[in-house]
Amino acid sequence: MSSDSGRLSAIDLFCGAGGLSYGLQTAGIPVVAGIDIDPDCRYPFEFNIDAAFLQEDVANISAEQLTPLWLKGSVRVLAGCAPCSPFSPYRRGADTSREKQWPLLAEFGRIVEETMPEIVTMENVPRIGSSPVFKAFVKTLEGAGYHVNWRSCHGPDYGLAQGRRRLVLLASRLGPIEVPEAAAGVSKVATVRARIGKLPPIQAGGQDPRDPLHTARALSDINLRRIRASTPGGTWKEWPKRLRAPCHQRTTGATFRNVYARMEWDKPSPTITTLAHNFGTGRFGHPEQDRPISLREAAMLQGFPRRYRFVKPRERIVFDRLGRLIGNAVPPPLAKAVGAAIVDHVAEHNA
């Protein structure tokens, strides 16, 4: 290693809106570039991360493109969260092996072999841990000389006000490395109230004039009556029968109690999905106000700071587009904990 081998620089594959990059930067790791096929990721990544954005299919990325991007003489970090739709728990039981996202983790492994960065980190849904593609990815890393460690991480252990669980992998050519079991300094579980309790109130279909992202989807008359009949932590079973949907009457729907429901102030939120702005797709009702959570609230429950920008000033707010960017993001607090572990690991092996 050179004398400045303690410096780090990272490239973020499948960078999305920049959640992983933001967390790594907060931990002190400069991010030099992000790569994603989705053009909607360009503005939030470039504005918030202040790094190069390459709109490209990762399957087409080569070592010749990436190698010059890392800072010269630095410890190189290759990070990424391959799209996880085929491995989502919501797809349990379905054959997803022919979907185009299935081989993307193999492309990640190919890029590792071509560039041989000192550190690799990968994040995904826990279910991927038992898949053939993940096992092949680990085998690729080990075969290339990496020390590999991975674990399922629970969001609140890392200061995330969300009961999200994610698989995180760390691999190093410098020596043994471990994914942290929790973030340093997290003494209590973060809550919905702690994260979004001070945002100004808005109505269903309303928007904060000072923050366009703090906008909530409108509710139909029946859903407005349903949310008014809901209590924090309750289920649709507390509603009068006249408000229940036909699916609630069927045996197959009776067990789905965490839809059309309110969050609780003093607990972490449920997992923020790409549809967290819809009252009917999960426990995404505001604890107190008669509306779904806003896009800003969803982003903050994902661990993004309130100032994080997802759209250009005066750009039209499109719920499904922004919900996808927010729900698919790596939570920055988890990424920060991983980044801190990388910084400590490099300092230890280059002391």
Residues 6+ apart with CB under 8 A from 161: 155, 189, 190, 191, 192, 194, 195, 268, 269, 301, 303
Going from the C-alpha of 86 to that of each of 103, 104, 144, the distances in angstroms are 10, 11, 26
User: Does 1 fall in a domain?
Assistant: no
The DSSP code for 71 is P
pLDDT tens for each residue of 149-191? 999 999 999 999 999 999 999 999 999 999 999 998 776 679 9
Per-residue pLDDT, averaged over 286-313, amounts to 98
Clarify whether residues 152 and 287 are in a common domain: no
Please confirm, yes or no, whether 84 is among the known catalytic residues: yes
Helix axes 332-349, 19-26, angle to 10 degrees: 50
Clarify whether residues 158 and 196 are in a common domain: no
* pLDDT at residue 206, as a whole number: 97
Clarify whether residues 126 and 215 are in a common domain: no
Q: Rounded distance, CA 136 to CA 55, Å? A: 27
Instruction: List alpha helices for 40-130, DSSP H.
Output: 42-49, 63-66, 104-115
Is the pLDDT at 91 greater than 50? The verdict is no
Q: Rounded distance, CA 216 to CA 141, Å? A: 44
**Amino acid in position 222:** I
Clarify whether residues 245 and 169 are in a common domain: no
* pLDDT at residue 92, as a whole number: 46
- Would you say 173 and 148 are in contact if contact means Cβ atoms under 8 Å apart? no
User: Does 253 fall in a domain?
Assistant: yes
In 3-state terms, what secondary structure has residue 306? coil
Q: Among candidates 27, 37, 72, 31, which has minimal Cα distance to 52?
A: 31
Clarify whether residues 301 and 254 are in a common domain: yes
Per-residue pLDDT, averaged over 111-133, amounts to 95
Three-state DSSP string of 169-201: EEEECCCCCCCCCCCCCCCCCCCHHHHHCCCCC
Range of the domain at 137: 8-187+330-349
pTM, two decimals, is 0.91
User: Does 2 fall in a domain?
Assistant: no
Considering the candidates 15, 41, 81, 84, report the single residue annotated as catalytic. Answer: 84
Q: Rounded distance, CA 101 to CA 98, Å? A: 8
* pLDDT at residue 291, as a whole number: 98
How many independent structural domains does the chain possess?
2
Q: Give the CATH number, domain containing residue 211.
A: 3.90.120.10
pLDDT tens for each residue of 195-232? 999 999 999 999 999 999 999 999 999 999 999 999 99
